[in-house]
Structures are given as structure tokens and as C-alpha cells.
Amino acid sequence: MAFLTDSECKKIIFNIGRELNLPPKLISTRLLDDFDKDAMREGLLEISILKRFVEVWRDMGMPDQVLK
């Protein structure tokens, strides 16, 4: 299991946002909650899965994250 720094996580989110033409800040603030961010830092959230998650979210109209 590889741990990622906050800087590495931000770069991944930036690259996904750029690739999907979405502002990274929207991904970080409206989609990902603290649990998702921790999973990303701990290497438990694969980048390909995160990208697909962002694509589905975008296609659904980018709703705010619902309380779990």
C-alpha cells in the first residue's frame, strides 16, 4: 500500500479535472468528502476508480455530496 502526500493527491485531482474539463476545486469540495480524501492518501482509492467516479458525478449534473 502506497501512501500519498497531500501534494500528490492535489496533482491527481488537478490532472483528472484537466482531463475532464472540470475545476479541481469543485471535485475536491463538492464531490470528495473527508473519508474519500483519507482513502486516497492511504492508497485505497485507485486513480482509475476516482476518475470514473468523477465522470459519473459530472454526468449526473455535479450534485453536492450527500451526507452518508
With a CB cutoff of 8 Å and minimum separation 6, the contacts of 50 are 12, 16, 40
Mean pLDDT of the 26-30 span? 93
Per the structure block, which three cell numbers stand in for 24?
Answer: 479541481
Question: pLDDT by residue (tens digit) across 35-59?
Answer: 999 999 999 999 999 999 999 999 9
| Residue 45, domain extent | 6-57
Residue 67 lies in a domain: no
Residue 63 lies in a domain: no
Residue 64 lies in a domain: no
Residue 65 lies in a domain: no
51 burial (CB, 10 Å; 0-12 / 13-18 / 19+) is middle
DSSP secondary structure string, 4-38? --HHHHHHHHHHHHHHHT--HHHIIIII--HHHHH
Number of structural domains (the chain) is 1
Query: Which of residues 38 and 64 earns the better pLDDT score?
Result: 38
